């Protein structure tokens, strides 16, 4: 019987159903290889967890399948299958089972695995991209973009032609544009600054929203992510402070960076790119809301979400990495228990004096 191998958990099943929307969008954008990568990742995660739980006569949890699908959607569509397998095994062994299994993990397993892959295989995770299919059935009629045509121009040669298809990823390009503009202002080169601002304003927000850009497999199509999020909110699976808090924290970091002069690009466009670019919405819908690692107290959820969003904005803008939410979520996981315990003690009613 299937129940001997998988312990079905309704909230986790709902998350799997919601993730099917960005999965289908990823297939449409990058081809059927996305589906095979996600399926392979799910099988690896289930198999590793079952290798542990079968010794106790228990099935693997549905959460293992969720981890596998999440990992398959937050990696580039051109990632080698063996690296997905390594990431899935790392997620279950070191980020979950090492802490005691389901319900005891401190860190989000999928995010921990992506961080591991990001550090170990930077060429795969951050240096190359696949151009998306466009027009007609797009990726539904293809397996994957052919490698020679999918490789894109480097950041410098595409600096003033950012479209997310034939150029570097949007976050990489816009960060570089801000650096160019800041240096131009510092040295009084107004023409160079104006050119950088014009390129920044030319970033197509509609293309960012509908996902016809390069990036991780399931993070590009924001419409699919938002529809999945609505489904989870209706089902009561996720808490909305864990969705809104990171967005507000991200906005606060952008305001601070502008106020201090670190970012000099138009604020409105910058906020829109921060939300629609990269994995911001995917993280807010499926990562910061992960029930095991997130706080349960409402006030702690707000602080936790705000902290993650704020740190993500700072990491994206001020470090060499674009994966701000990946590092910020791991930091949030680290301090989440302390935040919850501290706020619980602060808000607890005072004890009655002893008689």
Residue ranges covered by each domain of the chain: 2-127, 153-213, 238-347
3 state DSSP class of 285:
helix
Q: How far is 229 from 66, CA to CA, in rounded Å? A: 15
When pLDDT is averaged across residues 141-161 and rounded to a whole number, the result is: 67
Burial of 354 by CB count in 10 Å (0-12 exposed, 13-18 middle, 19+ buried)? exposed
For residue 93, pLDDT beyond 60: yes
Q: Sorting pLDDT into bands at 50, 70 and 90, what band is 154?
A: low
Phi and psi at residue 304, to the nearest 5°: -60, -50
Of 207, 181, 221, 197, the C-alpha closest to 73 is 221
Q: What is the DSSP letter of 236?
A: T
- The whole model's pTM is what? 0.93
For residue 355, pLDDT beyond 90: no
- Residues 293-302: tens digit of each pLDDT: 999 999 999 9
Share of the chain above pLDDT 90, in %: 73
Share of the chain above pLDDT 70, in %: 91
- For position 169, what pLDDT does the model report? 75
Q: Sorting pLDDT into bands at 50, 70 and 90, what band is 135?
A: confident
Q: What is the mean pLDDT of the chain?
A: 91
For residue 88, pLDDT beyond 90: yes
Q: Sorting pLDDT into bands at 50, 70 and 90, what band is 155?
A: low
Of 108, 110, 149, 107, the C-alpha closest to 130 is 149
Q: What is the DSSP letter of 137?
A: T
CA-based end-to-end distance of the chain: 60
Q: Sorting pLDDT into bands at 50, 70 and 90, what band is 157?
A: low
Q: H or E element: which one contains 6?
A: strand 6-7
54, 271 in Cβ contact below 8 A?
no
Of 112, 106, 101, 103, the C-alpha closest to 49 is 101
């Amino acid at each position: 019987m299937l129940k001997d191998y998988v312990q079905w958990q309704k909230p986790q099943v709902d998350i799997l159903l919601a993730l099917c929307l960005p999965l289908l969008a990823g297939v449409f954008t990058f081809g059927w290889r996305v589906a095979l990568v996600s399926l392979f990742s799910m099988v690896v995660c289930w198999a590793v967890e079952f290798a542990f739980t079968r010794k106790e006569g228990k099935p693997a949890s549905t959460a293992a399948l969720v981890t596998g699908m999440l990992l398959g959607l937050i990696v580039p569509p051109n990632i080698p299958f063996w690296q997905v397998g390594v990431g899935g095994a790392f997620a279950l062994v070191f980020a979950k089972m090492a802490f005691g299994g389901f319900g005891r993990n401190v860190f989000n397993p999928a995010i921990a695995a992506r961080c591991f892959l990001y550090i170990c295989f930077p060429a795969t995770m951050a240096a190359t991209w696949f151009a998306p299919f466009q027009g007609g059935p797009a990726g539904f009629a293809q397996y994957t973009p052919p490698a020679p045509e999918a490789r894109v121009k480097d950041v410098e040669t595409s600096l003033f032609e950012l479209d997310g298809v034939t150029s570097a990823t949007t976050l990489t390009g816009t960060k570089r544009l801000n650096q160019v503009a800041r240096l131009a202002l510092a040295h009084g080169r107004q023409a160079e600054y104006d050119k950088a601002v014009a390129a920044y304003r030319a970033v197509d927000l509609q293309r960012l929203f509908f996902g016809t850009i390069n990036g991780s497999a399931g993070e590009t199509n924001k419409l699919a992510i938002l529809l999945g999020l609505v489904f989870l909110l209706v089902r009561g699976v996720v808490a909305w402070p864990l969705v809104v808090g990171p967005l507000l924290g991200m906005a606060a970091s952008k305001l601070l960076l502008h106020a201090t002069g670190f970012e000099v690009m138009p604020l409105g466009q910058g906020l829109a790119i921060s939300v629609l670019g990269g994995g911001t919405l995917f993280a807010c819908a499926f990562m910061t809301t992960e029930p095991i690692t997130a706080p349960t107290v409402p006030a702690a959820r707000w602080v936790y979400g705000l902290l993650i969003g704020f740190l993500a904005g700072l990491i994206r803008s001020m470090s060499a990495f674009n994966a701000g939410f990946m590092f910020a979520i791991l930091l949030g996981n680290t301090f989440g228990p302390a935040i919850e315990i501290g706020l619980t003690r602060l808000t607890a009613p005072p004890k009655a004096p002893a008689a």
